[in-house]
């Protein structure tokens, strides 16, 4: 049975473009994967602590030697990693903050990138055989070949970090130009409709 992990990282709720596009992706995926299971992970309703000393110590200490503090520090990461490993396809909805990744998404990534769990000491990824679709909404337009392409540090970072843990089948849907919606120059519905076909195609 196919399984999908849907990760949301926008704080804007019903006004979020990435959430609307991710929702369309999930709906289409369910149509083309009858009987498949969907796990939803909303990063803004998840307590995601930053990596701290107990986390670092726990990551480099055998599990049987973990202190209570180490176990607590690694607990949420264990849950997130289990979700990731159980999925066949992952869809990640995100926005772009100052040309890069929102802090909440970076905190998630720091929890799932862990030696001996998602990569080996020899830097071999352990989360293999997955597909990842990233839906990236940004205020500016950073399409490949455009004069502003170089400002998009997020796409390359996400491909690199997920590839590092073994997820190399990555498709990024760039939904650039959300600034026009924020400024009232385009309606939210019109903007979402423009990028929905690419999202639906990625869900097949």
Tell the residue number behind the tokens 């992970």, with chain if given.
Answer: 41
- 6 is annotated as contributing to ligand binding: no
* Whole-number pLDDT of residue 14: 86
Show the tokens assigned to 179: 């600034």
Domains of the chain: total = 1
Q: Is pLDDT above 90 for 149?
A: yes
**Mean pLDDT estimate for the chain:** 97
Query: What average pLDDT does the segment 79-100 reach?
Result: 98
CATH of the domain at 168: 3.40.50.360
Looking at residue 69, what is its pLDDT? 98
User: What residue ranges in the chain does DSSP mark as E strands?
Assistant: 3-8, 37-42, 89-95, 131-138, 169-176
Greatest pairwise CA separation for the chain in angstroms: 58
Domain that includes residue 45, residue range: 3-202
Tokens of 143: 């399409």
> 15 pLDDT band (50/70/90 cuts)?
confident
Q: What is the pTM of this model?
A: 0.96
Banded pLDDT at 13 (limits 50, 70, 90): confident
Ligand-binding annotation for 16, yes or no, is: yes
pLDDT at 164: 99
pLDDT (average), residues 176-185: 95
The reply to whether 99 sits in an annotated binding site is yes
Long-range contact pairs involving 188-191 (C-beta distance under 8 Å, separation at least 24): 188/15, 188/17, 188/20, 191/17
The enclosing H or E element of 135 equals: strand 131-138
The reply to whether 138 sits in an annotated binding site is: no
User: Is the predicted pLDDT of residue 40 greater than 90, yes or no?
Assistant: yes
Predicted local confidence at residue 117, as pLDDT? 98
Kindly state the tokens that stand for 75: 């607990």
CA distance 28 to 26: 5
Alpha-carbon distances of 159 from 2, 11, 35, 156, 172, rounded to whole Å? 23, 23, 29, 5, 9
96 is in an annotated binding site: yes
């Amino acid at each position: 049975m196919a399984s999908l992990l849907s990760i949301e990282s926008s704080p804007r709720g019903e006004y979020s473009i990435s959430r609307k596009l991710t929702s369309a992706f999930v709906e289409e995926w369910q149509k083309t994967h009858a009987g498949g299971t969907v796990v939803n992970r909303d990063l803004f309703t998840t307590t995601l602590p930053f990596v701290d000393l107990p986390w670092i110590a726990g990551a480099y200490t055998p599990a049987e030697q973990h202190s209570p503090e180490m176990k607590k520090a690694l607990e949420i990461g264990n849950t997130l990693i289990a979700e990731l490993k159980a999925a066949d396809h992952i869809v990640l909805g995100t926005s772009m903050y100052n040309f890069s990744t929102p802090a909440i998404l970076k905190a998630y990534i720091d929890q799932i990138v862990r030696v001996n769990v998602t990569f080996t000491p020899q830097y071999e990824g352990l989360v293999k055989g997955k597909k990842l679709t990233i839906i990236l909404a940004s205020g500016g337009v950073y399409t490949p070949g455009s004069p502003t392409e170089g400002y998009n540090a997020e796409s390359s970072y996400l491909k690199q970090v997920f590839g590092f843990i073994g997820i190399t089948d990555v498709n990024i849907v760039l939904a650039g130009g959300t600034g026009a919606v924020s400024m009232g120059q385009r309606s939210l519905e019109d903007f979402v409709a423009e990028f929905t076909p690419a999202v639906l195609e990625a869900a097949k």
